[in-house]
Structure 1
Amino acid sequence: MLRFALLLLLLPFLCCCFRGGEGSTFTFVNKCGDTVWPGILSNAGKPRLKTTGFELASSASRAVAAPGGWSGRFWARTGCAAAGSAGVWSCATGDCGSGRVECDGAGAAPPTTLAEFTLAPAAGRDFYDVSLVDGYNLPLLVEASDGKGCPAAGCLVDVGQRCPAELRVAGQGSACRSACDAFGKPEYCCSGAFASPATCRPTIYSQIFKAACPNSYSYAFDDPTSIFTCSGGADYTITFCPDSVPSMKSSRNSSSSPSPTSATTSSGGSSTSTSRPAGGMMLGDDPWLADLATDGAVPSANSLSFLRHSLILILLL
């Protein structure tokens, strides 16, 4: 009887522990006034999802499943159509160059707002962010739908309204190029002699993106608190052109600020702290962060060790 009671007590932990390896469901929601065509790109060595691109009408939604341990990126293509006598299919922004709705393993042409994910392989944590490193083409919001209070991430404003003339895209009022894409200089691309957090600093252009969307990546070595984390196994909603996000504002202003790293958060000699979201974790809270960029994250074995010892205790009773 005691053995059965202990097993019941451990049941919630068992469910939580093993859910991390089950993967996640991504639900794409289009609140834009026009049709968009989401694109999906898996990182190198990760399985291709069931679809790599699809049409999503205004007010429509669609769910796509991803296995545990998957990593990759999502974006929205706009202004897509077949043109010319050959009927070649292409998009005004976010085009992946495949010539059709499916991207078939190709990435987005800048400027494009990106949602990037690394899912926990087992008993770990997911990592996600919204990036403007490749520029901006529309507002985007990422929300975890697991009921665990994980923070939202996103860029919720029309950056095109603040875009400098030299970064604008002709004929695309909302699209805004990154300085790297527009000028190709190492100091804007964090390449060559500027390929480290110590040498690649915020620029006047990246600061425009950061001011508009403070919890999105604005350049390659941006503030580490632009990456968010949630318990593995969460499902996510990715909304294009979100109309309101009260959960994001409250999650970023609800508690104390962490200490930023000087290599990535200081500008003009002064550091900028970022408030810690309610629920979930920030980048500096977990040792996985150092491995995230190389896709080499390994989850902690603490929970599995506890589970193993608990089961042994039950068997000995």
Structure 2
Amino acid sequence: MAAHLNVFLPVLLVFMAISSGPKLSESARIFTIINNCKETVWPAVTPGESFNGGGFMLKPGQSIIFTAPVNWSGRIWGRTGCNFDNKYGNTSCQTGDCGGTLKCGASGKTPATLAEFTLAALDFYDVSLVDGLNLPMVVIPLNGTGNCSVSGCDGDLRPNCPSVLSVKANGKTVGCRSACDVFNTDEYCCRGVFGNPVTCKPTYYSKMFKEACPTAYSYVYDDPTSIFTCSGTDYVVAFCSSRFVHELILDTKAVLNLS
């Protein structure tokens, strides 16, 4: 079941999730996906059976709720600049496109900021910039126990993207490619002799992303500070998350002793 909400309701929705107490079923996770951007976002999910087939539209301020089974493992990302109404079939997105279809059946085109989840008795989750980035995105766990930290990136890194990595549309930077994607060397791609955590080290570009977003994956072996574990949690996935909403959620968790 899914429901769209207006611009003022996502925070109230989160409060309701926080204060709802123990879940009726430990075999499911509730995902609240919020678009706090000033532009329309077309979230994509793969595999998408539990998420409206893998794709939908959120206008600025809208949110939507889904329930995913505990055995779900997949990715969520945001697409921008999409056109799915072309009568000649020439549909596509400026970033995150997945074959020109609204409902994604496979991973999207890079660069795209990715939220990655593996749901089990102990969930694993992260936000990855390894394949580049487009939208700011944070993952906020609710009602869980363990290392239930906020993951991701509040800030918009696109305006400061190095020109060699920049993806532009209509003169505006809409995405930032990874160094691996641009230069395609073993060092930047962590392959060959660099295909292990001992020899694959942060690069100039990954350090720049890491400094801006300390809790997001900046390169392949960035595990220690970028992957989090939490049990029995629901999730808020927020695009362009405002610091006000972010801090309000965390403050409410603390007041209710649910952190």
TMscore range, shorter length? 0.7 to 0.9
- For 1:83 and 1:56, locate their aligned partners in 2 and report how far apart those are by CA, in whole Å: 16
**Structure 1 residues 136, 249: closer, same or farther in 2, change over 3 A?**
farther
Give the match's secondary structure for 1:54: coil
Give the match's secondary structure for 1:219: coil
Any idea what the Cα deviations from partners look like across 1:211-239, whole Å, max 9, x if unmatched?
A: 1101100011114221111113x111101
**Structure 1 residues 145, 87: closer, same or farther in 2, change over 3 A?**
same
CA contact (8 A) 1:117 1:127 kept: yes
Give the match's secondary structure for 1:225: coil
- For 1:207 and 1:222, locate their aligned partners in 2 and report how far apart those are by CA, in whole Å: 11
Structure 1 residue 246 corresponds to structure 2 residue 251: no
Structure 1: runs of 5 or more not aligned: 1-14, 251-278, 281-317
- For 1:175 and 1:138, locate their aligned partners in 2 and report how far apart those are by CA, in whole Å: 8
Any idea what the Cα deviations from partners look like across 1:262-316, whole Å, max 9, x if unmatched?
A: xxxxxxxxxxxxxxxxx98xxxxxxxxxxxxxxxxxxxxxxxxxxxxxxxxxxxx
Structure 1 residue 101 corresponds to structure 2 residue 99: no
Q: What count of residue pairs does the alignment treat as equivalent?
A: 228
TM-score by length of 1: 0.66
Larger relative contact order, structure 1 or 2 (CA cutoff 8 Å, min sep 6): 2
Q: Write out the 4+ residue segments of structure 1 that deviate beyond 6 Å after TM superposition.
A: 15-18, 247-250
- For 1:60 and 1:83, locate their aligned partners in 2 and report how far apart those are by CA, in whole Å: 21
- For 1:216 and 1:112, locate their aligned partners in 2 and report how far apart those are by CA, in whole Å: 13
TM-score by length of 2: 0.80
Structure 1 residue 226 corresponds to structure 2 residue 207: no
Identity of aligned residues (%): 49
> CA-atom RMSD, angstroms?
2.7
CA contact (8 A) 1:152 1:247 kept: no
Question: Rg larger in 1 or in 2?
Answer: 1
**Structure 1 residues 18, 224: closer, same or farther in 2, change over 3 A?**
farther
- Structure 1 counterpart of 2:31, which letter? F
Any idea what the Cα deviations from partners look like across 1:177-213, whole Å, max 9, x if unmatched?
A: 1101111111111122211111111100111110110
- For 1:62 and 1:82, locate their aligned partners in 2 and report how far apart those are by CA, in whole Å: 20
Give the match's secondary structure for 1:86: coil
> Corresponding residue for 1:53?
55
> Corresponding residue for 1:197?
197
> Corresponding residue for 1:295?
none
Any idea what the Cα deviations from partners look like across 1:147-205, whole Å, max 9, x if unmatched?
A: 65831111111111221110111224241111011111111111222111111111001
Instruction: Report matched runs for 1:164-243 at 5 Å.
Output: 164-171=162-169, 172-232=172-232, 234-243=233-242
Please, which of 66, 69, 93 is the counterpart of residue 68 of structure 2? 66
Structure 2: runs of 5 or more not aligned: 1-20, 252-257
Instruction: Report matched runs for 1:300-311 at 5 Å.
Output: none
